[in-house]
Amino acid sequence: MVPCQSYASYKTLIGKLEALIARQRLDNREFLPSERELAVMLGTSRMTLRRALEVIEAKGLLIKGRRGRIIAPAGPAVKSKASLAFLAKGLDSIGNLAWARLWSAFHPLAETIGVRSRLALFKWDATVAEDWPGALTPTPDFLVFANAPSGIADKARALDNTCVLIHVDENDIGKARHLVTLDNERAGEMAAVLILKAGYQRPAFIGWRKAPAYLPFENRAKGFEKIMRAKARHFDPQSMIWIHARHGAEFMRELLRVGDMIADGDFDALFLCSDENVSVVYHTVLEKKRIPEAFGLVTVAGSNECLRNIPPISSVSHADEGIAQAITAFIDEVMDGRITPATHTINQIAPEVNDGKTIRNR
């Protein structure tokens, strides 16, 4: 019997552990982290974790030793069946932390199905003539498209006729034939439920608006407002606050101003649409409100920013592991002929709740 979790969540936990083992093996690690560390890392109870580890031990991926669980040596290498490039901004490494975490989760999984994957990096101010990523020549069989400036994006999309292009940004809905992404409306709904279950009733929302509008942030706001309108006793639509400043000092000044306004007002909770600069808001509010006793804070974790704070900030996950597993499953089905590349597919992955300490327990 699976304790305290749905079967779907339990299978996701097993998938996360298998992906972690694959990464640890690539890093030549001998031992898996302790049960205590794993339970915190994966946001689950030790009892549920132990059941999942038993399943993985039965598969032969782990060996139980006196000093901990030993990562079993890899079996014979899987014969390469296809090539893949992961297109993202960066110089020596991926610049966006959310895409970097997705690549870290996806790369070892791709190896298990015989897909040879490589990074295709470009500078954000790249021009097609000078900076077309070398890893896209020759054209790979699959291209995971994270983001790109317009010139490179247009050329990458043109490859849709010669390779299978998989988008991972919800903003590409309507432009992409194949999309695997976070269900951002569901992320907003989950943040609202977290806040209400903890007993907070006067929440605020902070998001940043780009031009053109960035669909993931808009959908997080939509999901949050929908639940609050239906269930909160004191929800004011004016509490949905948008920052329009784009970058740098102007953005930071506006963020600090809004943070002070939230801290000085009669709000008792906040959903921040992204964990970008979440520490700034956290400490601005913390100067005037007792967190989590009198004020709750939730965000969407796209980086490790939430974990850098003490106590860690409560968040809804960016679903990196789930998205990586869904991309891998999709590629496997295409290679086996179960899905034809011409078929349009949209797979929105539900987030999970990360166990932070900025929401009180009820």
Q: Which pLDDT value is given to residue 124?
A: 60
- My answer on whether 240 and 144 are in the same domain is no
- My answer on whether 90 and 216 are in the same domain is no
Q: Which pLDDT value is given to residue 3?
A: 40
Q: How confident is the model at residue 1 (pLDDT cuts 50, 70, 90)?
A: very low
Task: Among 71, 94, 114, identify where a domain stops.
Answer: 71
* Mean pLDDT along residues 56-68: 76
Q: Which pLDDT value is given to residue 9?
A: 62
Q: Give 180 or 11, the one with higher predicted confidence.
A: 180
Which of 136-140, 214-218, 354-358 holds the top average pLDDT?
214-218
Cα dihedral value 144, 149, 152, 154, nearest 10: 90
Residue 362 domain-assigned (yes or no): no
293 burial type by CB count under 10 A (0-12 exposed, 13-18 middle, 19+ buried): exposed
**What tokens were used for 164?**
């299978």
Q: Which pLDDT value is given to residue 126?
A: 53
Q: Which pLDDT value is given to residue 2?
A: 40
Please state the domain count of the chain: 3
Residue 354 domain-assigned (yes or no): no
d(CA 359, CA 362): 9
**229 has a pLDDT exceeding 90:** yes
Q: Which pLDDT value is given to residue 33?
A: 87
* Mean pLDDT along residues 4-23: 68
- My answer on whether 129 and 194 are in the same domain is no
Residue 62 domain-assigned (yes or no): yes
**129 has a pLDDT exceeding 70:** no
**Residue labelled with tokens 């000085």:** 264
**335 has a pLDDT exceeding 70:** yes
- My answer on whether 216 and 309 are in the same domain is yes
Q: How confident is the model at residue 36 (pLDDT cuts 50, 70, 90)?
A: confident
Predicted confidence (pLDDT) per residue in 275-294, tens digit? 888 899 999 999 999 999 99
Q: How confident is the model at residue 4 (pLDDT cuts 50, 70, 90)?
A: very low
Q: How confident is the model at residue 5 (pLDDT cuts 50, 70, 90)?
A: very low
Q: Give 342 or 82, the one with higher predicted confidence.
A: 82
Residue 63 domain-assigned (yes or no): yes
**78 has a pLDDT exceeding 80:** no
Task: Among 49, 71, 93, identify where a domain stops.
Answer: 71
% of the chain exceeding 90 in pLDDT: 36
- My answer on whether 209 and 121 are in the same domain is no
Q: Which pLDDT value is given to residue 131?
A: 60
- My answer on whether 279 and 335 are in the same domain is no
Q: How confident is the model at residue 128 (pLDDT cuts 50, 70, 90)?
A: low
Residue 360 domain-assigned (yes or no): no
Buried b (16+ CB within 10 A) or exposed e, 327-355: bbbbbbebbeeebeeeeebebbbbbbbbe
Cα dihedral value 252, 124, 316, 356, nearest 10: -60
Domain residues for the domain of 274 are: 184-318
Q: Which pLDDT value is given to residue 135?
A: 64
**116 has a pLDDT exceeding 60:** yes
Task: Among 71, 91, 115, identify where a domain stops.
Answer: 71
**273 has a pLDDT exceeding 90:** yes
d(CA 298, CA 303): 14
% of the chain exceeding 70 in pLDDT: 89
* Helical spans, DSSP H, in the chain: 7-26, 35-42, 46-58, 97-112, 128-131, 150-158, 184-197, 215-231, 248-264, 278-286, 320-335
Ramachandran quadrant class, 90 (left: phi over 0; alpha: psi -120 to 50; beta: rest) = left
Q: Give 98 or 273, the one with higher predicted confidence.
A: 273
Residue 217 is part of a domain; what is its CATH number? 3.40.50.2300
* CB atoms closer than 10 angstroms to residue 173: 14
Predicted confidence (pLDDT) per residue in 187-197, tens digit? 999 999 999 99
- My answer on whether 132 and 193 are in the same domain is no
Average pLDDT across the chain, whole number: 84
Is the whole-model pTM more than 0.85?
Answer: no
- My answer on whether 136 and 166 are in the same domain is yes
Q: Which pLDDT value is given to residue 133?
A: 66
Q: Which pLDDT value is given to residue 79?
A: 67
Q: Which pLDDT value is given to residue 12?
A: 72
- My answer on whether 244 and 292 are in the same domain is yes
Q: Which pLDDT value is given to residue 200?
A: 95
Residue 54 is part of a domain; what is its CATH number? 1.10.10.10
**217 has a pLDDT exceeding 50:** yes
- My answer on whether 30 and 99 are in the same domain is no
